[in-house]
Structures are given as C-alpha cells and as structure tokens.
Structure 1
Amino acid sequence: MRDFHVHSNYSDGDFLRSMVRAAESAGLEGIGFADHCNVAAREGPELMRGLYGFNLDRTYERRRRGIERLRENFDIEVYDAVEMDYDPRDEAAIDEFLAEAGFDYAIGSVHEVDGKNVQIASHFAELDEAERDAVVDEYFDRLVALVESELFEIAAHADLIERTPPLRGRATTDHYRRVAQAFADSRTVPEINAGRALTDAEIVHPASEFLRVLREHDVSVTVGTDSHHPDEIPARADFLADFADEYGLEPVTASVLDR
C-alpha cells in the first residue's frame, strides 16, 4: 500500500525523515509528501501564507533535495508532490507553477468558499438554512471546476464540508452525481482520505453515499492518510487497508497517476 497524501514541516506537518521512518515501520511501500501550497496573488491568500508559512512555491527545491537524500537512505518509495489550494481565478498561476516545479503528482483541494475556510464552523453558524445550502452548492461548483481544470492528478477530501457541523449532511445525491460525472470524464481521481476517520467524528472522505455514486460511475480512487505527524500514519494506514478490503477497492498505483 502507498500513502499519497501526508504533510511535512514544509507546511504543517512533522520532519520529512520522521514521517518516512513511520511509513516504513508501518509496512507501506510508498509515501507521498503533498505539502500545502497557494500561489494566488490576492491579499487574503497572501495574508494566510504569512500567518501559516505555507511557502512550498519558494521551498520546493530545498525539500526536493531532502527527499532525494531520503530515497538513498530508506527502502521505500518517496514521492515529491504538492497539495494546492484551488480557486478558478488562479488556474493560470497554478498551471505555470506546476509546469515549472515538475512534481511527481499534484493534489488539488477546495478549502474555501467566498474567502471562508469551509472547515471553520463559526463562519457558517449564523447563516440560515438557505444560505448554508448555497455554500454547499458553491463548494461543489468549485470541486467540479477543479476536476474539469485537468490541473491535478488527485482531488483531496472531495466532500470536505462534511467536517463542518453547520454544513454536514447538506450534500445531495445530485451533487455527488455531478461531481462523479466530472471525475469520470477527467484524468483526476478522488482519494479515500482518512484524516478524520479515527476521530470522534468518524468521518471518511468520501461519505458512503458519495462513494457509492463514484463506483456507479466507475471512478477510480487513490488513498491518503492526510497525516501530519508520524504517530498518525500506522493506524490510518491500517484503517485504509481495511476500508479498501471491506468495499472491494483496488486503489490506483503511482504509474496510473503519472500519465
């Protein structure tokens, strides 16, 4: 099994070597570092980069040298990847950066709607029912645009709004069918993401109904623990292996992503 979605100290995770050591100890055949990156020039994203230090667009060459050293020292595949914030306004900048950087693969994520992070419940707590539904509609509009952009090999946590109580449970089968059709027509594949699977919330991305619709459309999937710390990798990897067995999934391999 390969884990295509972990983070390192080049965004909001732990040291590269610690993460690789944990993956190797867990029996994984590969680990993919997909650190956060945003290349938007607008004031809001610039402010967030300053606050959180998500500067992989400036540091990826340094990280790449570290990854090359790890490949020499560990008997495990180590992938040089990126997780990019997606906004339709940034497609040209994203395309230019990915072409320049030459990562093994790129993950795209929709984290914001109208400048608000969809994981922060307080952003939506005061909205009425219709306004919350509108946020969900916009989230899936952006997700479809991400897939149709053909910029990314993987789309991360494709129903991220399920993490947020005011937005949870508002996605419909029609939303899922629209996204599934976009995936079916694209090279981009969604991931089975275990980032919240072992928490009290027990959230697996995609939700069971979403996964059913994806399978109905014969959409391939990949897997990612979305780990930020070494001690998260073993249990999340075991969960994903059991999840794949339970649902009869055969996640795509790295060779399929490289196309």
Structure 2
Amino acid sequence: MKFDLHTHHFRCGHADGSIEDYIKAGIEHGLQVIGISDHSPYFAHEEDHPAPGIAMARSEFANYVAEVQRLKEKYRGKIEVLLGVESDYFPDKADVYRAAYKDVPFDYIIGSVHQVSGVSIFNRTRWQKLPEIRHVDEKKSYYDLIARSAQSGMFDILGHIDAMKGYYPAFSDIQTPEAIDDALRVIAQSNVSIEINTSGSTKYVGGWYPSDAILERAHYFGVNVTFGSDAHLPSRVGDEWELVAKRLKEIGFKKWVFYRQRKPVIVPL
C-alpha cells in the first residue's frame, strides 16, 4: 500500500496548487492513501494572518477542514483522503493549539518544530552569527523541543526531525549523540511516529529527513516510521517512496504506518 501523509497547498502561501490537485496527483502516482496536512494557522497570534507566506489565516482553518472533508467523499473508492495538519509546536502556546484542534475530526496531526530560540530552523544565516561553541547548544535545544513535542500528547507524527540541516548540511556533523538518542527514546515511549520526509532534496542538503544514522538509532529504540513527501508542488506527491521503502528494509524496519481517525494503520514493508 502506497501512501503520503505530508502535503501542502495554496493556503499556506508558499505551495502551489489546490488540495484537489494533490489528490489527483496521488491517484496519478499510484497512491492508495493521501494525507492533506497544510501548515497550521498561528492560533496564538492576535492577528488573523500574521505570516501570509508561511501559514494559512486562522479564519481559513474551518474552510480547510470542510474542503478536505468534502473531497474525502468525492474521491471515496478512488483514493483514501485523510485529514491532517502540520502543526507548529510552541511549548508555551501548546494549550491554545490543543483547544483549536479539540473538535476537529483529524485522522492525524504532524507536530513540527520550526523555530529554535525564536529563529526559523531554515534561517540561512543562523549559523554564521553563532560562535561554534554555541552550535552544540542550538542542536541540543532543537532535540529537546522535539522530545517535548512527543511528550505533549498532541501529535501522532513528528515532522522532519533533522530539518535544521536543510540549509546547513554541516548541522549533521555537530556532535550531540546523547541529545538525539534521548529524543528518540522519548518518541518511542510516547508512541509517536517519525516521518521519512523527502523534501530535503529541495534544499541545500539534498537528502531525506532524517539521516540514515538517525533512522538506524530510531530502529534500535523501536520508533515507528511513516512517509511524507512534504510536497509543495503536486508533482512531488509520493516522491521517492519506493527508495525510502527499500532503505527502511535495509536498515531492518519491517513495517511503517499511516493514521486513520488518530489510530495507526500498520503497513508491512
């Protein structure tokens, strides 16, 4: 069974195409299941749409949910459409987000850390401004946030757990093995999955999130895995799915999962 749980569309302001465009692309690319998971609004912000190029407006959220629900029915029997969201994780605002999601009929929620120390993880100048001695601290802070997101109970999947390397490939060389292992241990204990996200191919790093080294440790700790292209173009839906499945089997994984009504569905590899 071929699935992709991480897709975006025009509402986030930095993806092309409608939700239906991604569903049609999923059918074209042989998927049986496609998840729609656009970026959550900034629910805790006083403005309705504080970052038009990053996330949807708060006032658009209900329309987003309704559109996915409508398309679920329209494409029933052709492809299973799942309602998801890629949610930011801000520890001090978690209750606001939790309340916003309370009555939404999600199939799954992806929790992603997009900011560390108030700066985007994709900021290209972050590392230039930091003395090298601080690089370890920043990486540890990142994995501490990821561990806390797993413990929050808000999420089914954690998104792109080494995406800080996207525009700074040397991130992977910063030595913090204990911090990564501690995060993976917490993720396994929290029964949350991590995604293999193939959008790193669109960044400087040119590879998947997370690295093979992290996937090997995830397998050791018994972490569940899932797949997400993180497509911002319909043409990227399901991108490299077969290659990821092959690599996971080589590492030793026997299964991966997708989610329906917040419950994992096991798919043998």
- Same fold judged by TM-score > 0.5? yes
Instruction: State whether structure 2 residue 116 is matched by structure 1 residue 113.
Output: yes
User: 207, 214, 220: which is aligned to 2:218?
Assistant: 214
Instruction: Give the residue type in structure 2 aligned to 1:236.
Output: E
How many residue pairs were aligned? 257
Structure with the bigger percentage of helix: 1
172-181 vs 244-253, greater mean Cα deviation: 244-253
Structure 1 runs not aligned, ≥5 long: none
- TM-score, L = length of structure 2: 0.86
Q: Residue 253 of structure 1 aligns with which residue?
A: 258
Query: In the superposition, relative to structure 1, how do residues 134 and 40 fare at CA in structure 2: closer, same or farther (>3 Å)?
Result: farther
CA RMSD of aligned residues (A): 2.4
Structure 2 runs not aligned, ≥5 long: 265-269
How many Å separate the matches in 2 of 1:101 and 1:255?
13
Q: SS in structure 1 opposite 2:84?
A: strand
Q: Residue 2 of structure 1 aligns with which residue?
A: 3
Q: SS in structure 1 opposite 2:198?
A: strand
Deviation at 1:247, TM superposition (A): 3.4
Q: Residue 58 of structure 1 aligns with which residue?
A: 59
How many Å separate the matches in 1 of 2:24 and 2:246?
22
Q: Residue 229 of structure 2 aligns with which residue?
A: 225
Q: SS in structure 2 opposite 1:101?
A: coil
Check the 8 A contact 2:5/2:258 in 1, yes or no: no
Deviation at 1:234, TM superposition (A): 4.5
How many Å separate the matches in 2 of 1:41 and 1:150?
19
Q: Residue 199 of structure 2 aligns with which residue?
A: 195
Instruction: Give the residue type in structure 1 aligned to 2:40.
Output: C
Q: Residue 149 of structure 1 aligns with which residue?
A: 152
Check the 8 A contact 2:23/2:34 in 1, yes or no: yes
How many Å separate the matches in 2 of 1:234 and 1:99?
29
Check the 8 A contact 1:198/1:236 in 2, yes or no: no
Q: SS in structure 1 opposite 2:103?
A: helix
Q: Percent identity?
A: 24
Q: Residue 208 of structure 2 aligns with which residue?
A: 204
Check the 8 A contact 2:167/2:205 in 1, yes or no: no
Query: In the superposition, relative to structure 1, how do residues 258 and 240 fare at CA in structure 2: closer, same or farther (>3 Å)?
Result: same
Deviation at 1:216, TM superposition (A): 0.6
Q: Residue 69 of structure 2 aligns with which residue?
A: 68
Q: SS in structure 2 opposite 1:72?
A: helix
Instruction: Give the residue type in structure 2 aligned to 1:181.
Output: R
162-171 vs 30-39, greater mean Cα deviation: 162-171
Query: In the superposition, relative to structure 1, how do residues 172 and 209 fare at CA in structure 2: closer, same or farther (>3 Å)?
Result: farther
Deviation at 1:232, TM superposition (A): 1.2
How many Å separate the matches in 2 of 1:133 and 1:176?
12
1:70-102 deviation line (CA, Å, top 9, x unaligned): 233331011111111111111111111111333
Instruction: Give the residue type in structure 2 aligned to 1:150.
Output: G
How many Å separate the matches in 1 of 2:148 and 2:203?
30
Instruction: Give the residue type in structure 1 aligned to 2:174.
Output: R
Q: SS in structure 1 opposite 2:171?
A: coil
Check the 8 A contact 2:49/2:57 in 1, yes or no: no
- TM-score, L = length of structure 1: 0.89
Deviation at 1:58, TM superposition (A): 2.5
